[in-house]
Amino acid sequence: LAGFNANDGEPSDNAAVWSSMQLCIDNRAEDAFDVAYDPNDRESLRESEGGSTKPLGQMIHYVREQMSHQHRVFMFSLHTVHDSARLIRWDRMGAIVTEAFNFVLQPQILAEFLFRFSLLGPEGRGLDSSVELAGPQECHEFTEAVANYLDSFGERKPPHFDSTLDASYPTCKIHIDESCSGERSSFIVRRPFSEIPFPCGRATRGYIAWDVGRKKLVFLKDAWRPEESSRLSEKEAYETLAEHKVPYVPAVLIAEDVHSSTGEPQRTVTQDYSDIPFGSRCAHLRPHIHHRIVQELALPLVMMRRSKQLVQAIRNTLVAIQAAYQDAKILHRDISMGNIMLDSNLNGILNDWDRAIRLSASEEHHAARTGTWRFLSIEQLRSETKAHEIHDDLESCFWVFLYAALHHFRHQPVPFDMSIFEDVWDRKDKDGTMHYFGGGRKRATLALGHVIDLKFDCAPLTEAIHYVSSIFEKFHGSAVGSRLPGDTGLRARAARAKVHAEMEDPYPLIKFLDTVLDREDWPQEDDAVFDPYPPPKVQSPRKEEEDSYSGQNSMYIDSNHSPSPTAHSDKGREACDSQPLISEDRLGYTRHNAMSSQPQPTTPQATDVAEHPFSLALTSEQMNGEPPRTYEANRIGKRLAPGSADYATDEPKAKRPKMARRNPKQKDTTRTHAMTLRPRAKTSTYAHR
């Protein structure tokens, strides 16, 4: 057990405590889940949230640290305020919180919980049963292989790759059972070089792993995927791409769901308790399943050395988009700096297909803003519900092209207005829901010819940038009709329809880039430069994943750039699946440590729960740093950041918490509430029989 007092802050030896902690006990002077207000009074609700976000934010920070330093499916925590306590169960979908109870007057509740918790094995306490500590020989092989790999790059190593050998993290062995062959493969990992710093959502981590069977280094992606029959899993996406022989995608060695010791997939359960009456404030919750992908190692795009490699990578990406669209009938939907990568020969490949969608998918799934904020198309930025089309992926490819060229190759004039990539404005509905839009500066940049004014030291690069820019200048210019009196706009709509039809096939653009690549005046030596543009001080509102070394890279792999905003939502505002649309309230990098797991010896017993509201429903939006539904709670993520002003000055108020009134006849019962996106009337207890 480990207990943290709000006055004392975190323990000094964080690595040792977080990696071995079994139960976090958080003692505070005020209740993070104040329930003393009318649940039907939304103004009262927002006022209550404003006062409770700081202790709640610190609690989420503790959860994030524990789940980051360990391989976990779920975890328990104990929240105490004076003589009152709450039991909480956390997983990647949110948290289930009990009603506060007085452990002085009702000591049997806490005593029984702690007794039953002590009887549970590692898996019953939430640890991943597919992970164990590596042996000495395996540790040696892993360390030697990674060290030699990093040394092969000389002084210019891939960003963050060296964190893999952090000696403060234990070396662990991850087992993956292949469904087709029935064989088990094992991979040695230590510290993830890339990780989503939020406890809820996809929780993607990227590792450089030692493949014990194949005796080589590989990339291992560990994530939680949404469970929906109507959408592709990443495994299914790669199988479809392979079936249709789509080029320029990474070589996938293994792709499987992670199973528990009982053979069932590891799945979130919070969503199962999200329909209690006090759920109107919560968004739709979807179950998530633990998923792992093993690929050949690739490099981030920032490792390119020459301008020709950038143009080649963009050309290869366009070919992959075209083949996936025309042959495999799927759209990628998240073209970004992190997802366009380089193979061992520095040729471009398109990675991270976990956002891919079939063309035959329902209109509801297509009509959702999905992608990385700074690379979204203008039309996507201007509408939250625009249907995703191939020209959106092509335009995102252009913005990646421009962004990478500006950051890594000499050009005039300097500085270029990089705010076009972070442009955002918001609107709040009467119910407090925030909506985010952008694209105005991108559109103005094209219309005013700012991209055409750019001149790079490399002439072929300049020609390629200008040509691609002119295509999208024409595309968006066709949307502006004549303002002459009597003009019905028919001519403009006809022109736009023609341009849209032309954008269905990127072959002419690919052919042009092939012509540029055949030029003989490309630099014969490395011409990439250090990034002349510092990270923006104010970042876009929404972030995500979301996630790849690949999607993760789009946010974390490039140390020269600020975290990329990502927008991911499948129903307008799917909080649970946000890898952030990207919350720029960065919490910093956290890592995990694994603990050996054993089979869970007991099964949970359910109990009826009385219906009673609590003050702040903790949504995965808020846990992930997504724009919250009310203004007062919109800095939860920021308050989690160690060292931030909010975090450092979080002095507990010396007052007793407001407690919910309880019917005396119910004083011996513990009532629970699902707090994520919609709670329900029954939930599992934390005591196991």
Q: What is the pLDDT of residues 350-364, one digit of tens each?
A: 999 999 999 887 666
Supply the pLDDT for residue 282: 58
- DSSP code of residue 666: G
Helix (H) or strand (E) holding 477: helix 459-477
Residue 547 has pLDDT above 60, yes or no: no
Q: Tokens 């009509």 label which residue?
A: 367
- Distance (Å, whole) CA 198 – CA 63: 9
pLDDT in tens, 150-179: 999 988 889 889 999 988 788 899 999 998
Supply the pLDDT for residue 362: 61
Supply the pLDDT for residue 669: 39
Q: At what angle do helices 490-502 and 459-477 cross, to 10 degrees?
A: 140
pLDDT in tens, 221-235: 999 999 987 788 999
Identify which of 415, 381, 293 has the alpha carbon closest to the alpha carbon of residue 565.
381
Average pLDDT over residues 94-118: 93
Supply the pLDDT for residue 1: 55
Percent of the chain with pLDDT over 70: 68
Supply the pLDDT for residue 543: 41
Residue 31 has pLDDT above 80, yes or no: no
C-beta separation of 172 from 189 below 8 A:
yes
pTM of structure: 0.74
Identify which of 303, 146, 133 has the alpha carbon closest to the alpha carbon of residue 219.
146
Q: At what angle do helices 459-477 and 307-323 cross, to 10 degrees?
A: 40
CATH number belonging to domain 131-265+280-517? 1.10.510.10
Supply the pLDDT for residue 296: 96
Task: Tally Cβ neighbours within 10 Å of residue 201.
Answer: 31
Q: Which range has the worst mean pLDDT, 5-9, 311-315, 625-629?
A: 625-629
Residue 117 CA: distances (Å) to CA of 17, 49, 87, 114, 418: 19, 31, 12, 5, 53
Supply the pLDDT for residue 528: 93
Phi, psi of 118 (to 5 degrees): -65, -20
Q: Which range has the worst mean pLDDT, 154-158, 246-250, 506-510?
A: 154-158
User: Where does the pLDDT of residue 415 fall: very low under 50, low under 70, confident under 90, or very high at 90 and above?
Assistant: confident
Q: Which two tokens stand for residue 575?
A: 């909080």
Supply the pLDDT for residue 233: 92
Q: Which two tokens stand for residue 456?
A: 């790079």
Identify which of 202, 201, 103, 86 has the alpha carbon closest to the alpha carbon of residue 616.
86
Residue 223 backbone zone (phi > 0: left; psi -120 to 50: alpha; other: beta):
beta
Supply the pLDDT for residue 143: 96
How would you class 531 by CB atoms within 10 Å of its CB: exposed for 0-12, middle for 13-18, buried for 19 or more? middle
Which runs of consecutive H residues, i.e. helices, occur in 120-268?
136-151, 234-243
Identify which of 333, 337, 352, 316 has the alpha carbon closest to the alpha carbon of residue 400.
337
pLDDT in tens, 178-203: 988 889 999 999 999 998 878 888 99
Residue 444's contacts (CB-CB under 8 Å, 6 or more residues apart) are none
Identify which of 102, 101, 32, 30 has the alpha carbon closest to the alpha carbon of residue 63.
32
Question: Parallel, antiparallel, or unpaired: how do β-strands 84-91 and 330-331 relate?
Answer: unpaired
Q: Which range has the worst mean pLDDT, 88-92, 135-139, 209-213, 603-607?
A: 603-607
Domain boundaries along the sequence of the chain? 2-126+595-688, 131-265+280-517
Residue 678's contacts (CB-CB under 8 Å, 6 or more residues apart) are 274, 275, 276, 279, 280, 282, 283, 284, 285
Average pLDDT over residues 561-590: 35
Q: Is 619 helix (H, G, I), strand (E, B) or coil?
A: coil
Q: Is 76 helix (H, G, I), strand (E, B) or coil?
A: strand
Q: Tokens 């005013």 label which residue?
A: 448
pLDDT in tens, 272-316: 887 766 544 556 788 999 999 999 999 999 999 999 999 999 999
- DSSP code of residue 657: P
